[in-house]
């Protein structure tokens, strides 16, 4: 996999085999993909054959430096040897038991010792499931039904949390003091809207007003501590602390959705980084490095709703032995040398972010960047960007053109206008050098 290291300037990839496969698969799989965002690769999805370290190769033999990393999970890169060994060892002992096993206990203990809010936890398979489990526990514990969520935040694809996730214009979001509740998908019943309260992110006043108005009905406030799916939007100083105070004073369960930030911006996630401890938290993605695993947990008194079985929590693949074995190996690597992995990826992310920003600005692209540790993304707008409404003034088409030109030359990043760059432990300074060379060519080609 060394073709990028000897690439010719302005070399553009031929992806004709991917195009042919896409036409074939559409005859059998709806839309030709397993998840809608994969269709945002223009002009057609790229089909991949193998990946190792920071790079992967498509079916046409083209090599890419990967900054999408499976939409975030591959914190240690593609196919790390120690994780492959762990998966193979477990497969020799069985792929699934439908019953507890010793390694499950050890990994649960590790996670409870790492995540600040975890007194008790449970495993799930996907982030979507874990979010729903946390919400169910919060409703049972408080005896209330409504939740507060923020505009532009993604908490999985289930109906009750995909409200006001995306909008084409600010006008669609409605007035700040009374935001419109937007249903994201056809097929969603409007009945889900009665239990959701929408407010803008980073606006404590709006949260206070919602709680003053409906606090006796609000079970939980659900938030990404760093908005990570609308591009990267950090909390303002004091915002998370304010949420902690408001929820504690009003018998509202504070839930951090750390599907993206958990184990990525710090071993203990955003709650460790910011020093704000929620009541419940959700994790997924990075802990499995590509294997399907998630979980939720928090205060023992809330999790007692699960322990007592007053709240149903189930799943055939929960605590799957192969996923647990990979998570165990991943946690060992992430914990080594007092956070060496995090220092490495943060240093490279800083270098990549500043290099890209300099290239964009030098070529006349108006942009701003938000970054927290290794997690960053660009907005093609003047900025600053403090909430989802601020992102809707950006030139989304320009972002997509630049990203397409980069992809055609061997740099693969998240294929949506909601720009996020993921750096892994496998990335190197040479990867950054090549990426910046390609970015310079791509920006000029994008016009």
pLDDT digits (tens, 9 = 90+) for 145-169: 999 999 999 999 999 999 999 998 9
At residue 2, does pLDDT exceed 70? no
Per-residue pLDDT tens over the stretch 35-72: 999 999 999 999 999 999 999 999 999 999 999 999 99
Residue with tokens 């630049």: 402
Residues 43 and 138 both lie in one domain: no
**Contact between residue 252 and residue 280 where contact means Cβ atoms under 8 Å apart:** no
For residues 1 and 234, give the distance between their C-alpha atoms in angstroms, rounded to a whole number.
36
Q: Which residues pair with 266 in a beta bridge?
A: 262
Instruction: Note the pLDDT tens digit of each residue in 202-221.
Output: 999 999 999 999 999 999 99
Are 333 and 343 within one domain?
no
What whole-number percentage of the chain has pLDDT above 70?
100
Q: How far apart are CA 280 and CA 289, in angstroms?
A: 23
Structurally, the chain folds into a number of domains equal to 2
Q: Is the peptide bond before 43 cis (omega within 30 degrees of 0)?
A: yes
Residues 300-320, mean pLDDT to the nearest whole number: 97
Q: Which of 337, 364, 392 is the last residue of a domain?
A: 337
pLDDT for 170-179, tens place per residue?
999 999 999 9
CATH number of the domain to which 101 belongs: 3.40.640.10
pLDDT at position 416 = 87
Cβ neighbours of residue 391 under 8 Å, at least 6 residues apart? Answer: 152, 230, 231, 233, 379, 381, 385, 418
* pLDDT reading at 19 higher than 60: yes
267 and 382 share a domain? no
Tokens of 159: 């109906």
Residues 130 and 275 occupy one common structural domain:
yes
Q: Which two tokens stand for residue 196?
A: 């959701």
Question: What pLDDT score does 7 carry?
Answer: 86
Residue 333 shares a structural domain with residue 345: no
The average pLDDT across 322-329 equals 98
pLDDT number for residue 241: 98
- Considering the entire predicted model, what is its pTM? 0.97
Provide the annotated active-site residues: 154, 257, 285
* Spatial distance between the Cα atoms of 108 and 130, rounded to a whole number of angstroms: 15
Domain that holds residue 176: 81-337
Residue 398 pLDDT class (50, 70, 90 cuts): very high
In a shared domain, residues 219 and 90: yes
- Please check whether residues 98 and 49 belong to one and the same domain: no
Q: Is the model's pLDDT at 1 over the cut of 70?
A: no
447 falls in which pLDDT band (50, 70, 90)?
A: confident
Over residues 348-356, the mean pLDDT reads 98
End position of a domain, from candidates 312, 337, 362: 337
Q: Are residues 154 and 246 in the same domain?
A: yes
What integer is the mean pLDDT of 249-266?
Answer: 98
pLDDT value, residue 184:
86
Half-sphere exposure of 231 (CA within 13 A, CB side): 28
Separation between Cα atoms, residue 256 and residue 293, nearest integer Å: 17
Domain shared by 201 and 306, yes or no: yes
Q: What pLDDT was estimated at residue 387? A: 97
Q: Which of 299, 319, 337 finishes a domain?
A: 337
**Is there a single domain that holds both residue 180 and residue 200?**
yes
Whole-angstrom CA distances from 411 to 107, 415, 439 are 35, 11, 8
The per-residue DSSP string of 105-169 comes to HHHHHHHHHHSTT-SEEEEESSHHHHHHHHHHHHHHHHS--EEEEETT----SSGGG-BTS--SS
What is the structure's pLDDT at 5? Answer: 84
Q: What would the mean pLDDT of 130-144 be, rounded to a whole number?
A: 98
The confidence band for 236, taking pLDDT boundaries of 50, 70 and 90, is very high
**Are residues 172 and 308 located together in one domain of the fold?**
yes
Question: Are 39 and 155 members of one domain?
Answer: no
Say how many residues make up the chain: 447
Q: At 73, which CATH number?
A: 3.90.1150.10
């Amino acid at each position: 996999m060394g073709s990028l290291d000897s690439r010719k300037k302005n070399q553009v990839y031929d992806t004709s085999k991917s195009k042919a496969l896409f036409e074939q698969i559409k005859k059998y799989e709806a839309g030709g993909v397993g998840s809608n965002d994969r269709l945002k690769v223009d002009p057609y999805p790229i089909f991949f054959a193998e990946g190792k370290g920071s790079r992967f190769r498509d079916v046409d033999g083209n090599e890419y430096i990967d900054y999408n990393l499976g939409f975030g999970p591959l914190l240690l890169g593609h196919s790390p040897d120690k994780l492959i060994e762990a998966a193979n060892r477990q497969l020799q002992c069985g792929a699934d038991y439908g019953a507890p096993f010793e390694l499950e206990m050890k990994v649960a203990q590790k996670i409870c010792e790492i995540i600040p809010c975890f007194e008790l936890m449970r495993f799930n398979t996907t982030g979507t499931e874990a979010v729903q489990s946390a919400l169910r526990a919060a409703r049972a514990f408080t005896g209330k039904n409504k939740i507060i969520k923020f505009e532009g935040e993604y908490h999985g694809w289930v109906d009750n949390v995909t409200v006001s996730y995306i909008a084409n214009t600010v006008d669609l979001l409605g007035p700040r003091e009374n935001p419109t509740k937007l249903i994201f998908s056809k097929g969603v019943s409007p009945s889900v809207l009665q239990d959701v309260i929408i407010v803008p992110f980073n606006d404590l006043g709006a949260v206070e007003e919602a709680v003053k108005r409906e606090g006796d009905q609000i079970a939980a406030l659900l938030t990404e501590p760093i908005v990570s799916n609308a591009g990267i939007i950090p909390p303002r100083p004091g915002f998370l602390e304010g949420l902690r105070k408001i929820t504690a004073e009003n018998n509202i369960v504070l839930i951090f959705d750390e599907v993206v930030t958990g184990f990525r911006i710090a071993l203990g996630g955003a709650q460790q980084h910011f020093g704000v401890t929620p009541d419940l938290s959700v994790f997924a993605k990075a802990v499995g490095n590509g294997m399907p695993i998630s979980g939720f947990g928090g205060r023992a008194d809330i999790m007692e709703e699960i322990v007592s079985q007053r709240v149903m929590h189930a799943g055939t693949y929960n605590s799957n032995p192969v996923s647990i074995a990979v998570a165990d190996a991943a946690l060992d690597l992430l914990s080594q040398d007092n956070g060496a992995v995090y220092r490495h990826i943060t240093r490279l992310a800083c270098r990549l972010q500043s290099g890209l920003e300099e290239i964009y600005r030098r070529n006349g692209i108006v942009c701003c960047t938000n970054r927290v540790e290794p997690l960053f993304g660009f907005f093609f707008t003047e900025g600053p960007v403090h909430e989802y409404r601020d992102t809707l003034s950006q030139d989304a088409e320009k972002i997509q053109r630049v990203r397409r030109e980069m992809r055609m030359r061997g740099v693969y990043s998240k294929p949506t206008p909601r720009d996020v760059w993921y750096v892994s432990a496998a990335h190197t300074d040479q990867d950054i050098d090549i990426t910046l060379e390609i970015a310079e060519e791509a920006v000029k080609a994008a016009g």
